[in-house]
Amino acid sequence: MTQPSFTPSFKPQFKKAHDFIDWKDWAPRQRPAPVEFRLAGRWWRIGWLLVPAILVGIACLVGSTWVIETEWGRQFVARYPGTVHAPAIEAHGFPLWLRVTHWTNFALMTLVFRAGLQILADHPRLYWDRDSTPGTEWFRFQIPVPKDRVWMAKDDSVTMPGWLGIPGGRHTVGVARWIHFSFDLFWLLNGAVFLVMLFVSEQWQRLVPRSWEVFPNALSTVIQYSSFHMPVEDGWIRYNALQQLTYFFTVFVAAPLLLVTGLAQAPAIGNRFARVSRHLNRQAARSVHFVLLLWFILYFAIHVTMVFVTGFKKNFNHIVLGTLADTWVGFAIGTVILLGVAILWAAASPLAQRHARAVQRTGAFLVGWIKALMEWWDPGVQYTEKDISPHFWPNGKVPTSAEYLALRANGFRDFRLEVFGLCDAPQAIPFERLKAIGKQEQITMHYCIQGWSGVAKWGGVSMRAILDLAKPRPEARYAVFYSFDEGGEGGTFYDVHKMENMLHPLSMLAFEMNGETLPELHGAPLRLRVENELGFKQVKWVRAVEFVADFKHLGAGQGGYNEDVEFYGYRMPI
């Protein structure tokens, strides 16, 4: 079949993308502001948390030293020694699977948490409301949003040192997400093995309380520890009540909640489970996700302290060798394991920076199929007028080309949307004609990869109508959207979408936002809405649509500007 003659009026200038993170080409460094939280109407540096921590510590120490010497205290501790001796069968020792999953879990969690912090640094604020309105955050390590200039979402990202975040640096969320999600998958698999083995063996009895006596016993453990009376330890067979409750909460509540609050941040999930996402909105999910991280850090600190305080030689033999032996072997091997984790820690960021493209490819291989599944969506969410966000973070660079400025000067009356490629009717559609096709409106939530979200009403022409005009051929599997603007690092901004997504009734090219002409900042004359995908796929300042069978030949072949340059994935329903 020959192509009808139509030549687009422009040639995309694809940015030559590297396969590594090239800091010369990257957003300049920006130091994080002090870490602060908001309480009782003002901001506090994180260090202030030490005050209640010390006060509670002193109260526990004094209170329990006093109470344990009273008659009531003596009897209470005698009655509830700290460990529940529940029904006959008990766990015995630490089998190999338990020891392996324990250490694997530890190594994986260090990677997942560090990549998670890196993601947070891309929008270093946490909110409870889905709007992400500046000033409503309860936690931040960024200055208040300046009011005297346009503050883009990317301006908000701060630099993470490479020893802490993975891969370190500023606005490396693309690489960080692949690391976060890929190791999440391993973490979940490891957790699944752990849980299955836990219940097919007798080991579940270590973690699952089976009597209400666990509560007074846990209190008794607290009293004993904080008055420096060490309770009788028999960790080989059973944990004390405090340990049991803590482990139970961590394994059966905190870990599953991490998964749920992680998924709840995805546009595909938020749209699919409307009823849930109204309450567990993206920002609330993100906040809880972070609080759980804090829980795990606290847990880890106490866990390691207790390992040493209660006899590290013995404890290491338990969890490394699975023996009761009183030797140094467990500690020696444990040290080697920890050294391995330390090497992994030190190598992770340099490796991820140097091999960013490989991280992207491997990540897509490991979790791409999950993303593909998530695109099988039917969004249940339509918001109402009163849900519209008072502030909608802008992103990108408003085009500055003479061509764009000339079109804008006359209200885009001369603008034509060029539609070409594998279609039977390539053409340049005059803007007026496009608007006359019939406007569709929808109130939806926008999910930026950086972490913020906002609700807006969009009015525009459905992609179905565009397809009706252009008549894409069956071999057209993707639609490419070219923009007037240059991406952050130079070169034409473009993005690729699957044809399936174009057919969805909510996919549209918007020319109105919140009932008014689409502002320049938000993409005038046209911006894309594909509601099951992240924000960066919603191309603004759209000038042309091309239908293609493949996208390997465009730019670095990753399916879009941010995909080429910032290592994002081309399927982004999460």
Ligand X SMILES: Nc1nc2c(c(=O)[nH]1)N[C@H]1C(S)=C(S)[C@@H](COP(=O)(O)O)O[C@H]1N2
Residues near Mo ion (CB under 5 A) are: 395, 448-449, 535-536
Partner whose binding site includes residue 485, from Mo ion, ligand X, none (CB under 5 to 8 Å by kind): ligand X
3-state secondary structure 378-396: CCCCCCCHHHCCCCCCCCC
* Residue 80's binding partner out of ligand X, Mo ion, none, with CB under 5 to 8 Å set by partner kind: none
Our finding on whether 415 is near ligand X (CB under 6 A) is no
| Closest CB to Mo ion among residues 64, 157 | 157
Cross-strand bridge partners of residue 482: 494, 544
CA angle 455–460–466, rounded 5-degree value = 130
Q: Measured in whole angstroms, how far is the alpha carbon of residue 373 from the centre of its chain?
A: 18
Contact indicator for 396, 519 with CB cutoff of 8 Å: no
Whose structure tokens read 């630099």? 159
**Using an 8 Å Cβ cutoff, are 560 and 494 in contact?**
yes
Amino acid of residue 483: S
Which of 292/524 has CB closer to ligand X? 524
Q: b or e along 124-148 (b: 16 or more beta carbons within 10 Å of the residue's beta carbon)?
A: bbbbeebbbbbeebebbbbeebeee
Which residue, 224 or 444, is less far from ligand X as judged by CB? 444
When binding is defined by CB under 6 A, the residue of 467, 539, 554, 572 that contacts ligand X is 539
| Alpha carbon distance 485, 541 (integer Å) | 7
Among 156, 485, 533, 566, binds ligand X (CB under 6 A): 485
Give the shortest CB-395-to-Mo ion separation in angstroms.
5
Cross-strand bridge partners of residue 431: none
- In the complex, the smallest distance separating the C-beta of residue 454 from Mo ion, rounded to whole angstroms, is 11
User: What is the bridge-based pairing of β-strands 527-529 and 516-517?
Assistant: unpaired
- 83 versus 118: smaller Cβ distance to Mo ion: 118
Q: Which does 486 bind (CB under 5 to 8 A by kind): ligand X, Mo ion, none?
A: none
Residue 393 touches which member of Mo ion, ligand X, none, C-beta under 5-8 Å by kind: ligand X
Does position 394 interact with ligand X (CB under 6 A)? The reply is yes
Minimum Å distance from CB 456 to ligand X?
A: 8
Q: Which does 539 bind (CB under 5 to 8 A by kind): ligand X, Mo ion, none?
A: ligand X
Q: Which residues pair with 423 in a beta bridge?
A: 472
**Shortest reach from residue 223's CB to ligand X, in Å:** 52
Sequence-separated (6 or more) residues with CB below 8 Å from residue 302:
246
Point out which span in 113-121, 391-399, 433-441, 470-478 binds ligand X (CB under 6 A): 391-399
- How many other C-beta atoms lie within 10 A of the C-beta of residue 103? 18
Closer by beta carbon to ligand X, 485 or else 512: 485
Terminal C-alpha separation, the chain: 38
In angstroms, what is the minimal distance from the CB of 153 to ligand X?
6
What angle is formed at CA 61 by the lines to CA 242 and CA 82, rounded to 5 degrees? 25
Tokens matching residue 535: 């924000």
Min CB(544)–Mo ion separation in Å? 21
Shortest Cβ distance from residue 177 to ligand X (Å)? 13
CB of 573 to ligand X, least distance (A): 15
Contact predicate 489/14, CB 8 Å: no
535 in contact with ligand X (CB under 6 A): yes
CA distances (Å), 200 to each of 103, 193, 222, 458, in order? 20, 11, 32, 53
* Shortest Å distance, C-beta 526 to Mo ion: 18
Amino acid at 54: I
457 lines the binding site for ligand X (CB under 6 A): no
Candidates 266, 161, 155, 170; CA nearest to 569 is 266
Smallest gap from residue 432 Cβ to ligand X (A): 23
Stretch that binds ligand X, among 99-107, 181-189, 287-295, 537-545 (CB under 6 A): 537-545
From the list ligand X, Mo ion, none, partner contacted by residue 541 (C-beta under 5 to 8 A by kind): ligand X
Q: In terms of CB distance, is 151 or 247 closer to ligand X? A: 151
- From ligand X, Mo ion, none, interface partner of 396 (C-beta below 5 to 8 A by class): ligand X
Q: Which CB sits closer to ligand X, 334 or 396?
A: 396
Under the binding rule (CB under 6 A), the answer on residue 448 touching ligand X is yes
Contact (CB, 8 A) for 240 and 217? yes
Residue 270 binds which entry of Mo ion, ligand X, none, CB below 5-8 Å type-dependent? none
Instruction: Starting at the earlier edge strand, list the strands of the sheet with 42-45.
Output: 42-45, 36-39, 139-140, 125-126
- Total site size for ligand X, rule CB under 6 A: 19
Q: Which does 394 bind (CB under 5 to 8 A by kind): ligand X, Mo ion, none?
A: ligand X
Minimum separation from the CB atom of position 401 to ligand X (A): 12
Mask of contacts with ligand X, 501-530, x by CB under 6 A?
---------------------xx-------
Using rule CB under 6 A, residue 393 touches ligand X: yes
Instruction: Provide DSSP, 2-29.
Output: PPPP---S---------SS--GGGSPPP
| Residue 573 binds ligand X, judged by CB under 6 A | no
Q: Considering the rule CB under 6 A, would residue 536 count as an interface residue with ligand X?
A: yes
Those residues with Cβ within 8 angstroms of residue 10's Cβ, 6 or more apart along the chain or in another chain: 418, 482, 543, 544
Which does residue 518 touch among ligand X, Mo ion, none (CB within 5 to 8 A, set by kind)?
none
* 483 vs 24: CA distance, rounded Å: 25
Nearest residue (CB) to Mo ion, 132 versus 205: 132
Selected from 139, 493, 551, 570, the binder of ligand X by CB under 6 A is 493
Which of 165, 396, 491, 560 touches ligand X (CB under 6 A)? 396
Q: Smallest Cα–Cα separation from 330: which of 312, 348, 343, 344?
A: 312
**Binding residues for ligand X restricted to 146-175, rule: CB under 6 A:** 153
Whichever of 320 and 480 has its CB closer to ligand X, that residue is 480
Nearest CA-CA partner of 274 in 370, 384, 386: 384
105 within 8 A of 190, measured Cβ to Cβ = yes
Residue entry with tokens 């593909």: 372
Give the shortest CB-532-to-ligand X separation in angstroms: 15
- Token pair listed for 144: 């208040």
Chain residues in the site for ligand X (CB under 6 A): 153, 392-396, 448, 483, 485, 487, 493, 522-523, 535-536, 538-541
